[in-house]
């Protein structure tokens, strides 16, 4: 009788561990793995995930590379979460090809995985929660077209990194729209900058030096936008060259008010984090989450920056959700 009781206890503990939970805990454990953890964008994703965790009474395991571009580290983190048999993973793949094997491993081993922010070349996921990034690029191009007098001029693109599906779609949306809708605007240079602000500052600076008569610049994410802003300021070109950026941070809002840049295409990272966690919770509760969830895109300018709607979008209360 005693042996039988011990066996039941041990079996219960094993089953709890297999579900990614501590023995005696009924909470789902959901790993949320961003491309990096330093940018305000990812901190806002974290805040949205925490809101979902509080609302649905689940535990969030937040872990990602310190800086973007560390593909092997992100793969290792996902593999660790699969080995731990968490109840679900919410992942922003750093590379649309390199992360495919580990995403497909999660499915084989029964760990549901939702992709957010940036796509991967596989359908082995629960849901894809993201901006329509091509549309974001289209909006950026139309903003640039309005900023340039008579829809004419020479512009450049500060691109992000090869293999990043989200930024590639933005770049393509921007370039395609300039070509189709603004034939008087010529993209004279488009360079990849790498994954850090320092890299972007260097590349943007090189572009500005090589093209002294440039009329405008498009930067496709937070790090490229911040680096490009610094390059423009450093060369005394604020107000002399039009700039459209992507994503938002306190630095970029300041640059907008100081007329260093003119428009920002803004996503909703808070909603990405929230909806990503919710898809796992819904699946565990027997529901079928949508295969695609569009979290929206908004154009922010000096004229609408201070409106309540935009402020709610761009100034997430990180202290409230993350304690900092």
CATH number at residue 216: 3.40.50.2300
Give tens-digit pLDDT for 100-132. Answer: 999 999 999 999 999 999 999 999 999 999 999
Q: Is residue 302 part of a domain?
A: no
Cα–Cα distance measured from residue 69 to residue 40, given in angstroms and rounded to the nearest whole number: 16
Number of domains in the chain: 2
pTM value is 0.87
Q: Is residue 84 part of a domain?
A: yes
E strand or H helix at 192: strand 185-192
Q: Is residue 310 part of a domain?
A: no
Q: What is the DSSP letter of 242?
A: E
Q: Is residue 17 part of a domain?
A: yes
For 91, the domain range is: 2-128+268-295
- Verify that 35 and 117 share a domain, yes or no: yes
Cα–Cα distance measured from residue 289 to residue 292, given in angstroms and rounded to the nearest whole number: 8
Q: Is residue 247 part of a domain?
A: yes
- Verify that 143 and 253 share a domain, yes or no: yes
- Verify that 24 and 146 share a domain, yes or no: no
- Verify that 262 and 277 share a domain, yes or no: no
- Verify that 218 and 262 share a domain, yes or no: yes
- Verify that 73 and 165 share a domain, yes or no: no
Q: Is residue 36 part of a domain?
A: yes
Angle at which helices 100-108 and 71-83 cross, to 10°: 0
Q: Which residues contact 276 (CB under 8 A, 6 or more apart)?
A: 32, 45, 48, 49, 52, 90, 114, 116, 127, 129
Give tens-digit pLDDT for 201-223. Answer: 999 999 999 999 999 999 999 99
Give tens-digit pLDDT for 12-70. Answer: 333 344 444 544 458 999 999 999 998 899 999 999 999 999 999 999 999 999 989 89
- Verify that 93 and 203 share a domain, yes or no: no
- Verify that 204 and 235 share a domain, yes or no: yes
The values of phi and psi at residue 62, to 5°, are -90, 120
Cα–Cα distance measured from residue 189 to residue 208, given in angstroms and rounded to the nearest whole number: 10
- Verify that 254 and 147 share a domain, yes or no: yes
Pairing of strands 242-246, 185-192: unpaired
For the record, the structure tokens of 118 come out as 């940036």
pLDDT of residue 271: 98
Q: Is residue 320 part of a domain?
A: no
Q: Which residue stretches of 111-194 are H helix? A: 133-147, 165-181
């Amino acid at each position: 009788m005693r042996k039988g009781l011990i066996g039941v206890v041990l079996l219960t503990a094993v089953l709890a561990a297999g579900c990614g939970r501590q023995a005696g805990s009924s909470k789902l454990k959901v790993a949320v793995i961003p491309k990096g953890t330093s940018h305000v964008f990812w901190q806002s994703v974290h805040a949205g995930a925490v809101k979902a965790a509080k609302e649905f009474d689940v535990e969030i395991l937040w872990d990602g590379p310190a800086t973007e571009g560390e593909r092997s580290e992100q793969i290792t983190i996902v593999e660790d979460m699969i080995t731990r048999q968490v109840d679900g993973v919410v992942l922003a793949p750093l590379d649309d090809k390199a992360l495919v094997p580990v995403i497909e491993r999660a499915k084989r081993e029964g760990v549901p995985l939702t992709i957010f922010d940036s796509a991967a070349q596989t359908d082995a996921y629960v849901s894809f929660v993201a901006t329509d990034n091509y549309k974001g690029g289209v909006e950026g191009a139309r903003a640039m077209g309005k900023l340039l007098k008579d829809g004419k001029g020479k512009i450049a693109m500060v691109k992000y990194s090869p293999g990043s599906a989200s930024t590639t779609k933005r770049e393509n949306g921007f370039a395609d729209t300039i070509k189709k809708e603004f034939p008087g605007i010529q993209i004279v240079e488009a360079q990849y900058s790498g994954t850090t602000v320092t890299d972007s500052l260097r590349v943007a600076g090189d572009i500005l030096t090589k093209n002294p008569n440039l009329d405008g610049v498009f930067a496709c994410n937070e790090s490229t936008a911040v680096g490009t802003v610094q390059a423009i300021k450093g060369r005394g070109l604020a107000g002399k060259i039009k700039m459209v950026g992507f994503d938002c941070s306190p630095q970029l809002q300041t640059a907008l008010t100081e007329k260093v840049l003119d428009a920002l295409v803004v996503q909703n990272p808070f909603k990405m984090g929230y909806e990503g966690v919710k898809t796992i919770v819904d699946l565990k509760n027997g529901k079928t989450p949508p295969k695609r969830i569009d979290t929206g895109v908004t154009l922010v300018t000096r004229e609408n920056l201070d409106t309540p709607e935009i402020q709610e979008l761009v100034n997430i209360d990180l202290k409230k959700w993350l304690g900092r």
